[in-house]
């Protein structure tokens, strides 16, 4: 009964049921444990290549997907593990992909940077900064033309907001009033270059003005704030009123990728952001509003731990792709 | 011009004379009428009718929701077409000039070509991209290129170059039925060329070359407008007692290996003629294909390539003509080749 709640009740507490809120927190734990499991597997040499971890950005991914169903689409980024989990992917198939196995979401052809789950509406992470933006607009064009009612959420980072694709995509989404929500996860750095040094505007959300769409900046480590902004933006898209830009201010605790020596930011800055852990804040909010007890929350975390341990075991035991099938799936029908 | 020696039986539909541009428009009209998922996208393709009047009046028949004028945003527009193709539409995206596809390489090469593979086959990208290409219009270096070989280098794309109105229609309809990205390079000088075109729906198969003229003395493998120059040259050569077989490649990815190799085995001499820059172009691939096969043993002379000059397309008309193979170049190369023995 939202109207019986005190005025300062956070949006998410009023909007979602206790079960939905606990499921959201569990997903945040699942992302955190997934990233930690992936990092450990990488360190132990079980995963090759590189990866971009989203530890610290869990509220942004999960909060942004709260208003979405399986028919809705997302496009994701090179830092896309969290989005994939948030949209409902099976972490076993995700780990299998990271381990390069045939049982992975991309049958071992994509890896971390192209993780996708098309059945759940995740059209894929993208190795090209800004690559997903026009694709998201295309998915929204399909939804509008085919009348599916689906909304597309387009995740990208602060780095992408200086790509031409960002500007072209926002403009087209606006002129055609397409059902798409652009979610800029601003974690302050495009690799090593800060937004202060790379971006002419102080707030990326103000770039929405140039494309005549609403733009808001939210605390991306506050689950409730993210879900509130997304609720409005998704409702607007679903109602046929067009796109929005949501800037989610967050921070990656780890470096850009495995090659990062963290020369461009201070230990103090990292510690400051770690003190604003989105998972701790979500857990505290649920306890404070009587949604969950500390014991229940410990249970959610332990459950996520177990799921990740099982997922890694599943991945380890999977079959490698057959080398003879290296050119499979280049085309839908085999071509000589 | 002898155009009746295609390897494939003609469709049994009645034919009419249409221009190449009209044939493409008819294909799009048929597709728009038959399939709600088909949309056209591109710059000035609506009331303007397209820079080369290929879309013409289609916007009046199907409306602006299906014949969509895009902003001048090649990268974004191509990406929208890719995303739409991944999620249920069948977009035909027109680049105003194929040169402008350089602005959209990211979406074509990194996304359209690779998404299916990167996702382990979980999606297809049935997008068609139309590319007005080639020189001869006096538009100079940034509006006259023949970049088809660039795209043909990318696994995941299919690349076709129709040389006749019949094939322009049939290949476009085939591209629309293809589940993967197909790029159609249309030579601008062909848009006004007339030819017999079957009415109604038919498909010209992607990946099949056509023998446009049978001959025994040498094989000329040509693409796009060069097919017509090769046929013109072949007629002159016939008067000199040299019978050239002219193979219209039609698709450059995937290449119809069997037709090319079969012709070379028969004639023992090979001349490749294409408008793209000679070096690292289509002729290199055809030559290598022959060199790596048993057809190599049949060669009686070194392979000869005629391609675009190693320069941008120039403005001055004499220079512009000199920058791409012309009929006299083909005649000269063919005479030398026919007289030569290894």
Question: CA–CA separation, A230 vs A183, rounded Å?
Answer: 9
8 Å CB contact of B75 and A165: yes
Contact at CB, B121 and A107, closer than 8 angstroms: yes
Which of B39, B88, B119 shows the shortest C-beta gap to A124?
Answer: B119
What is B16-198's CATH superfamily? Thiamin diphosphate (ThDP)-binding fold, Pyr/PP domains (3.40.50.970)
Q: How confident is the model at residue B7 (pLDDT cuts 50, 70, 90)?
A: very low
B158: nearest CA in chain A? A331
Beta carbons of B180 and A146 less than 8 Å apart: no
Q: What distance in Å separates the CA atoms of residue B161 and residue B225, rounded to the nearest whole number? A: 9
pLDDT of residue B10: 55
- Is there a domain that residue A11 lies in? no
Question: Which pLDDT belongs to residue B291?
Answer: 98
Q: Verify whether the Cβ–Cβ distance B82 to A135 is below 8 Å.
A: yes
Distance CA A67, CA A24 (A): 12
A321, two tokens: 């792709």
For position B11, what pLDDT does the model report?
55
CB distance A329–B121 less than 8 Å? yes
B13 touches chain A (CB under 8 A): no
Residue B130's DSSP bridge partners are B94, B184
Q: Please enumerate in sequence order all residues whose Cβ is within 8 A of that of A245, keeping only pairs 6 or more positions apart, or say none.
A: A170, A181, A182, A184, A204, A205, A207, A208, A211, A213, A214, A215, A216
The pLDDT score that the predictor gives to residue A3 is 59
Contact B123 A134 (CB under 8 A): no
Chain A residue at shortest CA distance from B206? A335
- Structural domain boundaries, residue A187: 16-317
pLDDT of residue A334: 81
Res. B198: pLDDT tops 80:
yes
Q: B159 at the A interface (CB within 8 A)?
A: no
Q: Say yes or no for a CB contact (<8 Å) between A142 and B119.
A: no
- Please compute the mean of the pLDDT values over residues A100-117 and round it to a whole number: 97
Mean pLDDT computed over B88-106: 98
Q: At a CB cut-off of 8 Å and minimum separation 6, what does A23 contact? A: none
Q: Identify which of A25, A66, A59, A62 has the alpha carbon closest to the alpha carbon of residue A277.
A: A59
Residue of B nearest to A131 (CA): B107
pLDDT 10s digits, B16-75: 999 999 999 999 999 999 999 999 999 999 999 999 999 999 999 999 999 999 999 999
Closest CB from A134, A327, A336 relative to B80:
A134
Return residue ranges of chain B for CATH 3.40.50.970.
16-198
Q: Are B145 and B95 in contact (CB under 8 A)?
A: no
Least CA distance to B64: which residue of chain A? A176
Closest to B289 in 3D by CA, of B256, B312, B245, B315: B256
Distances (CA, A) of B142 to A165, A174, B167, B313: 22, 30, 27, 8
Residue B317 banded pLDDT, cuts 50, 70, 90: very high
pLDDT at position A336 is 63
Residue A29's H or E segment, with its range, is helix A18-43
Q: How confident is the model at residue B4 (pLDDT cuts 50, 70, 90)?
A: very low
Instruction: State how far the Cα of B143 lies from the Cα of B131, in Å rounded to an integer.
Output: 11
- What pLDDT score was predicted for residue B8? 47
- Output the pLDDT for position B342: 52
ipTM of the complex: 0.96
Percent above pLDDT 90 for chain B:
95
Evaluate if residue A1 carries a pLDDT over 50.
Answer: no
Interatomic CA distance for residues B17 and A87, integer angstroms: 54
Tell me the DSSP string of A50-107: -----TT-HHHHHHHHTT--TTSEEE--SS-HHHHHHTT--HHHHHHHHTT-TTSTTT
Checking if the pLDDT of B325 tops 80, the result is yes
Does any domain span residue A9?
A: no
A213-255 pLDDT, tens digit each:
999 999 999 999 999 999 999 999 999 999 999 999 999 999 9
Residue recorded with tokens 């290894």: B342
pLDDT of residue A330: 97
Q: What span, in angstroms and rounded, lies between the C-alpha atoms of B53 and B182?
A: 21
Look at B117 and A118 and tell me if their CB atoms are within 8 Å.
no
What is the average pLDDT across A260-272? 94
Mutation site, B89, B111, B120, interface A, largest A CB count within 10 A: B120
Distance CA B120, CA B123 (A): 8
Question: Catalytic pick from B22, B94, B143, B275?
Answer: B143
Mean pLDDT of chain B: 96
Cα atoms in the 13 Å half-sphere on the side-chain side of A151: 27
Is the separation of the CB atoms in B160 and B251 below 8 Å? yes
Count of domains in chain A?
1
- Rounded to a whole number of angstroms, the distance from the CA of A309 to the nearest CA of chain B is 25
pLDDT band at B341 (very low <50, low <70, confident <90, very high): low
Query: CA nearest A171 in B: which residue?
Result: B71
CB contact under 8 A, B83 and A328: no
- Arithmetic mean of pLDDT, A116-130: 97
Give per-residue pLDDT as tens, A46-85. Answer: 999 989 999 999 999 999 999 999 999 999 999 999 999 9
* Bridge partners (DSSP) listed for residue A156: A184
Q: For B260-294, what is each residue's pLDDT tens digit? A: 999 999 999 999 999 999 999 999 999 999 999 99
Architecture of domain B210-339: 3-Layer(aba) Sandwich (3.40)
- Distance between B126 CA and the closest CA of chain A, angstroms: 10
Q: CATH number, domain at A255?
A: 3.40.50.970
CA distance A253 to B285: 50
B201 is catalytic: no
pLDDT tens digits along A124-142? 999 999 999 999 999 999 9
Of B255, B257, B259, B154, nearest to B212 by C-alpha is B259
Across the interface, whether the CB atoms of B79 and A133 are under 8 A apart is answered yes
Q: Give tens-digit pLDDT for B162-195.
A: 999 999 999 999 999 999 999 999 999 999 999 9
Residue-wise pLDDT for B121-138, tens only, equals 999 999 999 999 999 999
Q: Which residues of chain B are within 8 Å of residue A118 when distances are taken between CB atoms?
A: 119, 122-123
Question: Which pLDDT does position B5 carry in this prediction?
Answer: 41
Name every chain B residue with its beta carbon within 8 A of the beta carbon of A137: 76, 79-80, 83
> Which residue carries 């991944």 as its tokens?
B86
Q: Which of B74, B94, B166, B320 is catalytic?
A: B74
Active-site annotation holds for B196: no
Q: Which residues of A touch B177 (CB under 8 A)?
A: none
B-chain CB neighbours of A168 within 8 Å are: 71, 73, 75-77, 79
């Amino acid at each position: 009964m939202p109207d019986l709640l005190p005025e300062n009740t956070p949006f998410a507490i009023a909007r979602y049921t206790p079960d939905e809120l606990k499921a959201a927190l569990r997903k945040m734990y699942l992302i955190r444990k997934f990233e930690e499991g992936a990092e450990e597997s990488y360190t132990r040499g079980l995963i090759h290549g590189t990866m971009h971890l989203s530890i610290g950005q869990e509220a942004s991914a999960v909060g942004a997907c709260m208003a979405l169903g399986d028919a809705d689409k997302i496009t994701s980024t090179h830092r896309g593990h969290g989005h994939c989990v948030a949209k409902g992917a099976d972490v076993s198939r995700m780990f299998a992909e990271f381990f390069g196995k045939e049982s992975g979401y991309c049958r071992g052809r994509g890896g971390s940077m192209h993780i996708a789950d098309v059945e759940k509406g995740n059209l894929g992470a993208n190795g090209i900064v800004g690559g997903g933006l026009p694709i998201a607009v295309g998915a929204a064009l399909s939804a509008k033309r085919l009348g599916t009612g689906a909304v597309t959420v387009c995740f990208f980072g602060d780095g992408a907001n200086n790509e031409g694709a960002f500007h072209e995509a926002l403009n087209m989404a606006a002129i055609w009033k397409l059902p798409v929500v652009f979610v800029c996860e601003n974690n302050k750095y495009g690799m090593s270059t800060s937004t202060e040094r790379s971006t002419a505007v102080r707030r990326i959300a103000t770039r929405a003005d140039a494309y005549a769409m609403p733009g808001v900046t939210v605390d991306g480590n506050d689950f409730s704030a993210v879900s509130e902004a997304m609720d409005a933006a998704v409702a607007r898209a679903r109602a046929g009123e067009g796109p929005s830009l949501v800037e989610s201010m967050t921070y990656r605790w780890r470096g850009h990728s495995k090659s990062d020596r963290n020369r461009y930011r201070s230990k103090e800055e990292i510690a400051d952001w770690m003190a604003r852990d989105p998972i701790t804040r979500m857990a505290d909010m649920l306890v404070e509003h009587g949604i969950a007890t500390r014991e229940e929350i410990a249970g959610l975390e332990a459950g996520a731990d177990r799921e990740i341990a099982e997922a890694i075991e599943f991945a380890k035991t999977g079959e490698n792709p057959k080398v003879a099938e290296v050119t499979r799936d280049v085309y839908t029908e085999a071509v000589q | 011009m002898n155009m009746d020696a295609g390897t494939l039986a003609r469709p049994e539909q009645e034919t009419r004379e249409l221009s190449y541009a009209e044939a493409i428009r008819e294909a799009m009209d048929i597709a728009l009428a038959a399939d709600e998922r088909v949309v056209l996208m591109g710059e000035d393709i609506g009331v303007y009718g397209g820079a080369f009047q290929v879309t013409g009046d289609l916007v009046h028949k199907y409306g602006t929701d299906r014949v969509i004028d895009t902003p001048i945003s090649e990268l974004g527009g191509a990406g929208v077409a890719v995303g739409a193709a991944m999620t249920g539409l069948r977009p035909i995206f027109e680049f105003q000039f194929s040169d402008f596809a350089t602005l959209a390489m990211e979406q074509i090469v990194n996304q359209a070509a690779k998404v299916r593979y990167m996702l382990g086959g979980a999606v297809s990208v049935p997008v068609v991209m139309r590319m007005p290409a080639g020189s001869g219009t006096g538009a100079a270096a940034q509006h006259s290129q023949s970049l088809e070989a660039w795209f043909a280098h990318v696994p995941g794309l299919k690349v076709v170059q129709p040389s006749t109105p019949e094939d322009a229609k049939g290949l476009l309809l085939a591209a629309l039925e293809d589940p993967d990205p197909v790029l159609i390079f249309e030579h601008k000088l062909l848009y006004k060329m007339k030819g017999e075109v079957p009415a109604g729906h038919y498909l010209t198969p992607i990946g099949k070359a056509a023998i446009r003229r049978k001959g025994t003395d040498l094989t000329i493998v040509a693409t796009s407008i060069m097919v017509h120059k090769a046929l013109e040259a072949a007629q002159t050569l016939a008067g000199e007692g040299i019978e050239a077989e002219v193979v219209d490649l039609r698709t450059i990815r995937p290449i119809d290996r069997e037709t090319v190799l079969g012709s070379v085995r028969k004639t023992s001499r090979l001349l490749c003629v294409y408008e793209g820059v000679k070096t690292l172009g289509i002729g290199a691939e055809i030559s290598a294909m022959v060199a790596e096969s048993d057809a190599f043993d049949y060669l009686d002379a070194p392979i000869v390539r005629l391609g675009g000059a190693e320069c941008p397309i120039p403005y001055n008309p004499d220079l512009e003509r000199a920058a791409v193979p012309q009929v006299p170049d083909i005649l000269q190369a063919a005479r030398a080749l026919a007289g030569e023995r290894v």
